[in-house]
Structure 1
Amino acid sequence: MGILTKPAIVRPQYRITQDEMVDVLQRLHPNHPDWSKINRMIRNTQVNERYIVRPIEEIIAHSRFEERSLIYKEEMRRLSVQAVEQALENAELEAFQIDLIIVTSCTGFMMPSLTAYLISDLPFREQTKQLPIAQLGCAAGASAINRAAEYCEAFPGANVLIVSAELCSLCFQPAESAISDFVSAALFGDSVSACVMKSTSGTGFQVESNASYLIKHTENYIAYDVKDTGFHFVLDKQVMYTIETVAPVMREFVEETVQRAPSDLDFFVFHTGGRRILDELVKHLGIAEQRVALSRESLAECGNLSSVVVFDVLARLFEAGTRSPGDKGLLAAFGPGFTAEMCAGTWVE
C-alpha cells in the first residue's frame, strides 16, 4: 500500500477565459454554419478559464510541428522541475530518496523521456528507475497511481514520484472546423503536477486496492490522428455514453474492496472529462452532487487537464482540509481505449 502525499500543481503563465476563446474561434471561422450550436456546446462545458503555455495569438498561428515540439520539451523541463521540487517538500523527502519516477504525458513526444532529464537536472540517484506512460491520455494519471501503489507493495519502503505534464494547447489545430474540434479547443488546459507516493508514514490518500477496465472495440472513441501538423484530437460522441457501461464495474469494485456502496464513501477524486462525464458519474453511481464539487471546481477554473486532473482535484482535497483519518474514498479517470482506471483507499495522517 502506498500513500499519496499532497500534489504540487504548476500552471503556465498565460490565461484565457472562455469568452476570449469563443472570440478567437469566431475570428478563425467567421462563416461556420453551426455557430449557434457551437456556442451553446462550448458554454455547456462549464469551463470558465484555462492556463496555456504560450499567448493565444502565438498558439493559433500554428508554427511548425518541429517548433511546437521544441516548446513542449523546453516547458516540460522548466515546469516539471518546479513541480517536483515542491512535491518533494510536501512529502518531506529528498530527491535521492526516490526509487522510481513515473511520467505521464500525451500532448507531445520526447526521447529520452522527461524522466531522464529530471534525473539529470535534479539530485536523483543514477539508479533511479524510470517509467514513462505516453498513450493512456486522461486515464494515465490514475494508471500511474495504480502502478506506483503496486511498486510500493512489491518493494516495501520505496518512494515513487509521479509527474504528469500536459500542454494541451500545443495540440490546437486552427484549421479544423468540426464541432468536436471547437469543443475540444474550449475544453482542454495546460498544467504540470508532481506527487510522491510513500510506502511508509505520511498524510494523504492511502491506496489499498485498484482496478483497470477497458471497453473492447472503442479504440475510435478517443484518439489522435498524427499528421504533418502534429496531433489532431479525435472524439466520438459515443464517449458520452460510456459511463453507463463503466459505472457498474466501479460500483462492484467499491463494494468488493471497501465493503460500502459508492454513495456511502466519504470523498471522490474524479477526472473532469467534461460536465457530461461528471453528470453521468453522479447519476449512475448514485452519489450526491456536492460530492463532486472539487472536480467541478477544477473543470471551471482549469479545464480538462488530461492526466493532471486527478492530481489537481487531489490537491484541492488537501487544501479543503475536510478529511479525517479513516475516511474512505475513490479515485477514477477515463481515457483512450475506452479505459477506466480506479483505486480506493483510506485517508491517513
Structure 2
Amino acid sequence: MSMFSMSFLFLAQSKSYTLSIIRDYLNTQILFKYSNIFSLLMWCASISYIVTFYQKKCSKKVYLVDFACYKPFPNGICSKELFIKQTKSGGNFKDESIDFQKKILDRSGFGDKTYVPESLLKIPQNISIVEARKETESVIFGAINDLLLKTKMKAEDIEILITNCSIFNPVPSLSAMVVNHFKLKHTILCYNLSGMGCSAGLIAIDLAKQLLQVHQNSYALVVSTENTNSGYYLGNNRSMLVSNCLFRVGGAAILLSNISSDSQRSKYHLKHTVRTHKGSQDTCYNSVFQKEDETNKITGVSLSKELMSSAGFALKANITTLGKYVLPLLEQFKFVSTFVVKKYFNNKVKIYTPDFKLCFDHFCVHTGGKAVLDEIQKVLGLSDFQLEPSKMTLYRYGNTSSSSVWYELAYCEAKGRIRKGDRIWQIAFGSGFKCNTAVWCALRNVDPIKEINPWSDEINEFPVDVSI
C-alpha cells in the first residue's frame, strides 16, 4: 500500500473516530438535558402531590363545631309593665316620653320575659362603666363557658378570638377581657369589633372565615353581644328613646374550625358570607347614629325615620349578590331580565323578587323589631312558619343585637327542625348602614333531646300568638 493510501486511510479512520466522539458527546448531552427535564418534572410532580395532600389534610372549609347562647338569670326578667314602672321611678323622663315608650313596647312584639341587667332594675337606674362591665362579663363568660362545656374544648386550644359589641368598648378591650379570664395563650390572634351595630356578629363570622383561610389547623372563637347599660338613654329625644325599649341582654359564643377531621363532629359548614355596606349614602349613614341630644347633651343612639328604607335598600343589594351563588338559573334569569327591562326600556316594570324559599330551609332574620320582621316577611314572601324562629326570639328575648340570629338558630334546633343537608340563611342589619348574611349547611341531624340551649326547658310553650 502506498504512502498516500495509508495516509488517506488514517485520515478516514481519524474522521470516523472524531465523528464517533462528537456523536457520543451529543447523545450524552441530550440524555443529560432530558434527564434534567425529567428530574425537574418529577420534582414538580412530587411538590404538587405534597401540596395537594397538605391542602386536603388542612381543609380550607370552615366548620361550625357548635355555638352557645347565654340565658340570663331569672332575676333579670323584666315585663313590659315593670319596664315602664322603672322608667317612671327614675325621674329622668317627661310624661309624654313615658307614654311614647309604652306605645313602642306595646307594638314591639315583646313578651313579658325579656331580660335587662340588674342595674336597670334599681331605683334609680345605675348607669356606669362598672355596671356595664359586670353585665358584659356575665354574658360573655357565661356563653363561652357553655360552649366549652358543649364542645369539650380547652380554652388554650383556641388560636383566633373575635369579639364584637357596638356600644360598650372599654380599655382593655373585650377580647383582652376574655384572654385574661380564660388565660388564653399569648400567641392568640385577637380582634375587637366596635360600632358596627347588630350585623357585627356576621361580620365577625366573615372575618373568622378569612383568617381560617390563612391559618391552617386552627380554632376560631367568635363572641357576639351588646351592652344594655351603656346604651341606655336618660333624655327625652324620641328618636333615642326607641333603643331603650327594644334592646335586651343577650350574647352568643361560636366555635369555628378549619380542621378537616372536625367535619365529623361539627354541626354546620359555612357556605357563603355576603357583606353589603351603604355608608356612602348619607341617609343610610345617618339612619343609626350615636350622638348627644339637642337639649341636655345626653348621649344616645338616634334611629331616624329613614331606617326602614335604608334596611330595604341594603337588603336588596345584598340578595342581588347572594343570588348569584344560591339561586336556580331560572330565578336568576327572571331577576336579570326584569332588571334590564326596567333600566333600559320601561321604568314602570317591577323588578322580580327571587324566590329564596327554593334555596333555604330555615330563615334567621335579625330581630330588629316587629316592623322590621313584617317588612322582611313581605319582601321575601316568607310564611309565618318560616319566620317563626325570628318572631319567637323577639317575643322571648327581645332584640339582643348581633347575637339574635343565634337564638333563632337555637330555636330551630330545639324544635328538632335541623336535618342533615338543610340550608340556613342568617340575615342581619347594622349601623353604617349594613346588611350582612351567612349561609350554612347542616352536616348532621341535630337531636333536640341531646341539645342544651336557652330554649330547651320551655320550647314546648312555643310558638305563641304575637298578633296585635
How high is the TM-score relative to the length of structure 1? 0.89
What is residue 181 of structure 2 aligned with on the other side?
121
Q: Contact conserved, 1:6 with 1:318, CA < 8 A, in 2? A: no
Shift of 1:230: 6.9
Matches within 5 A, 1:63-74: 63=127, 68-74=128-134
Q: Matches of 2:104 and 2:152 in 1, distance apart?
A: 44
What is residue 315 of structure 2 aligned with on the other side?
247
Q: Matches of 1:144 and 1:126 in 2, distance apart?
A: 21
Matches within 5 A, 1:143-182: 143-174=203-234, 176-182=235-241
Q: Which has the higher contact order (CA 8 A, sep 6+)?
A: 1
What is residue 118 of structure 2 aligned with on the other side?
54
In structure 2, list runs of 5 or more residues that go unmatched.
1-60, 329-354, 445-468
What is residue 454 of structure 2 aligned with on the other side?
none
Taking a change above 3 Å as real, the CA distance of residues 316 and 187 of structure 1, as seen in their structure-2 partners, is same
Shift of 1:183: 2.8
What is residue 205 of structure 1 aligned with on the other side?
268
Q: Contact conserved, 2:94 with 2:236, CA < 8 A, in 1? A: no
One of 358, 375, 380 as aligned partner of 1:285: 380
One of 165, 189, 192 as aligned partner of 1:132: 192
Shift of 1:339: 0.7
Taking a change above 3 Å as real, the CA distance of residues 323 and 59 of structure 1, as seen in their structure-2 partners, is farther
Paired amino acid for 2:302: V
Shift of 1:324: 1.1
Q: How large is the Cα RMSD of the aligned pairs?
A: 2.4
Taking a change above 3 Å as real, the CA distance of residues 59 and 225 of structure 1, as seen in their structure-2 partners, is farther
Shift of 1:262: 1.2
Counterpart check, 1:184 vs 2:243 = yes
Counterpart check, 1:222 vs 2:288 = yes
Taking a change above 3 Å as real, the CA distance of residues 57 and 243 of structure 1, as seen in their structure-2 partners, is closer
Q: Contact conserved, 2:287 with 2:310, CA < 8 A, in 1? A: no
Taking a change above 3 Å as real, the CA distance of residues 168 and 74 of structure 1, as seen in their structure-2 partners, is closer
Taking a change above 3 Å as real, the CA distance of residues 92 and 136 of structure 1, as seen in their structure-2 partners, is same
Q: Contact conserved, 1:100 with 1:161, CA < 8 A, in 2? A: yes
Q: Contact conserved, 1:42 with 1:183, CA < 8 A, in 2? A: no
Identity of aligned residues (%): 20
Matches within 5 A, 1:10-29: 10-13=70-73, 14-26=76-88, 28=91, 29=93
Q: Matches of 1:187 and 1:115 in 2, distance apart?
A: 26
Counterpart of 2:426 in 1: which secondary structure?
A: strand
What is residue 325 of structure 2 aligned with on the other side?
257
Structure richer in helix, relative to its length? 2
Paired amino acid for 1:39: K
Q: Matches of 1:156 and 1:126 in 2, distance apart?
A: 18
Q: Contact conserved, 1:48 with 1:300, CA < 8 A, in 2? A: yes
Q: Matches of 1:309 and 1:268 in 2, distance apart?
A: 12
Taking a change above 3 Å as real, the CA distance of residues 300 and 33 of structure 1, as seen in their structure-2 partners, is closer
What is residue 308 of structure 1 aligned with on the other side?
403
What is residue 299 of structure 1 aligned with on the other side?
394
Taking a change above 3 Å as real, the CA distance of residues 287 and 156 of structure 1, as seen in their structure-2 partners, is farther
Q: Contact conserved, 1:8 with 1:87, CA < 8 A, in 2? A: yes
Shift of 1:81: 2.1
Shift of 1:286: 2.0
Structure richer in strand, relative to its length? 1
Paired amino acid for 1:315: A
Number of equivalences: 343
Q: Contact conserved, 1:60 with 1:173, CA < 8 A, in 2? A: no
Q: Matches of 1:160 and 1:230 in 2, distance apart?
A: 38
Taking a change above 3 Å as real, the CA distance of residues 291 and 112 of structure 1, as seen in their structure-2 partners, is same
Taking a change above 3 Å as real, the CA distance of residues 297 and 171 of structure 1, as seen in their structure-2 partners, is same
Q: Contact conserved, 1:98 with 1:159, CA < 8 A, in 2? A: yes
Q: Matches of 2:434 and 2:369 in 1, distance apart?
A: 16
Paired amino acid for 2:286: N
In structure 1, list runs of 5 or more residues that go unmatched.
none
Q: Contact conserved, 1:243 with 1:280, CA < 8 A, in 2? A: no
Taking a change above 3 Å as real, the CA distance of residues 59 and 146 of structure 1, as seen in their structure-2 partners, is farther
Shift of 1:26: 4.8
Matches within 5 A, 1:25-44: 25-26=87-88, 28=91, 29=93, 31-32=95-96, 35=99, 39-44=102-107
Q: Matches of 1:40 and 1:90 in 2, distance apart?
A: 41
Paired amino acid for 1:32: E
Paired amino acid for 2:115: Y
Q: Which moved more, 1:338-347 or 1:195-204?
A: 195-204
Q: Matches of 1:192 and 1:301 in 2, distance apart?
A: 14
What is residue 362 of structure 2 aligned with on the other side?
267
Q: Contact conserved, 1:4 with 1:198, CA < 8 A, in 2? A: yes
Paired amino acid for 1:58: K
Q: Matches of 2:168 and 2:122 in 1, distance apart?
A: 17
Shift of 1:234: 0.8
Q: Matches of 1:170 and 1:12 in 2, distance apart?
A: 18
Q: Matches of 2:153 and 2:292 in 1, distance apart?
A: 40
Shift of 1:55: 4.5
Q: Contact conserved, 1:326 with 1:347, CA < 8 A, in 2? A: yes
